[in-house]
Structure 1
């Protein structure tokens, strides 16, 4: 039996350094400045000696060529800038994961820290403003009296405890806000902090953040905490 190792395999040949293979230079169809001067020289050689080319025309041709070349270079620079901005946006968006976004919602996310913050949106001054927190079954677990508040965002905080002072388990709780505006009781919209689970980069919509309640554009987020 021969102990020689065969090296005729095409796979092994593909791994070897190919000394004779030289990459071909890609040819471009775009006219360069050298091409322009060649054309200009050819034009001058064929012109009528009795009617030489006007200097203004030659300068105009050179100016047009320079402008075309400048616009082409500018487009390339803009493409590089757009790619760089997209990379920067992706890097900035990645830092949002794990933080909280203030979004309009009728639920509160109680986590291990045992504290939930949010805001009630009051378009007008409101009296007897009350925040009602219920568990998943609809049972009332906590009532927070906020009294009289001016128009704007009314901040609130819940320590995660019920009326008896007992700490409630982490989870999602329903929340309602009611108050008297111009002598009439009505419900008010609420915004609460939601955990940002992931982000997407969308060319038309910008940065999209994803929470348990769905996706929302970063421009629609009132606050990041």
Structure 2
């Protein structure tokens, strides 16, 4: 800090002096305690020192002092409000996770065309058609990208339509457990067009988010969890 001259004055303004004393105080606190936040008692201590060093013939105006105290009170209030929001967010996350725990063991519809088929299970989902089709065709591919089943869905109008595959190949035999991709296409203006497909997955467990209010679902057959907010439907139609 710049020294005060013999008249009790300094080359710095009141605000600059307070800021410099604050920075020096923060550096000292960091060295001693590792803290880098200025608390209310620290501010009052700095203000007291500042007032004791002011020029008695030109004291700091009340308006400046009030403005400084009001500014600090505002910042202190915002910090406390942020802490309260953090606590509220944690409580909401826990409550959301508790509600989501009821999904364990249930099927949910997710925005994925790939689904996990159990040994004796089937695969179901939904297709979103943006065009009317005279003949919609569903194709099922295994994890290697090989076509294992083709199903004629018939004529379909625009909108969402439920689809299902019984888990069997073209020869009628049940295919092994694993991940299978479902595709639905049709002829539009003389060209083949693929449409968006959603599939069902079973919920194994629920994960809390990392303090961000998000809840994640562990789904059977998927290595990465899915956001609860990405779920389109709970249960099968």
Q: TM-score, normalised by structure 1?
A: 0.58
**Shift, 1:188, TM fit:** 4.4
Tell me what 2:218 maps to: 210
Q: Which one has the largest radius of gyration?
A: 1
Q: CA-to-partner distance for each residue in 1:140-161, whole Å, 9 max, x for gaps?
A: 5x84x43222233222356789
**Shift, 1:217, TM fit:** 3.0
The RMSD of aligned alpha carbons is: 4.7
Tell me what 1:221 maps to: 231
Answering whether residue 66 of structure 2 is matched by residue 59 of structure 1, we say yes
Q: SS at 1:196's partner residue?
A: strand
Match runs of 1:45-194 below 5 Å: 48=56, 51=58, 53-103=60-110, 104-107=112-115, 109=117, 117-131=124-138, 143=151, 145-157=152-164, 175=182, 177-185=184-192, 188-194=195-201
Contact 2:139 2:147 in 1 (8 A): no
The aligned length equals 193
Q: SS at 2:104's partner residue?
A: coil
Q: SS at 1:198's partner residue?
A: strand
- Tell me how far apart the structure 2 counterparts of residues 60 and 72 of structure 1 sit (CA, whole Å): 18
Q: SS at 1:121's partner residue?
A: strand
Q: What runs of 5+ residues in structure 1 fail to find an aligned partner?
A: 1-27
Q: SS at 1:213's partner residue?
A: coil
Contact 1:109 1:194 in 2 (8 A): no
Q: What runs of 5+ residues in structure 2 fail to find an aligned partner?
A: 1-34
Q: TM-score, normalised by structure 2?
A: 0.55
Are residues 215 and 223 of structure 1, via their aligned partners in 2, closer, same or farther at CA, if it must alter by over 3 Å? farther
Are residues 60 and 131 of structure 1, via their aligned partners in 2, closer, same or farther at CA, if it must alter by over 3 Å? closer
Are residues 110 and 31 of structure 1, via their aligned partners in 2, closer, same or farther at CA, if it must alter by over 3 Å? closer
Are residues 81 and 183 of structure 1, via their aligned partners in 2, closer, same or farther at CA, if it must alter by over 3 Å? same
Q: CA-to-partner distance for each residue in 1:150-207, whole Å, 9 max, x for gaps?
A: 23322235678999xx9x7996695553432223345545322111112333437933
Q: SS at 1:214's partner residue?
A: coil
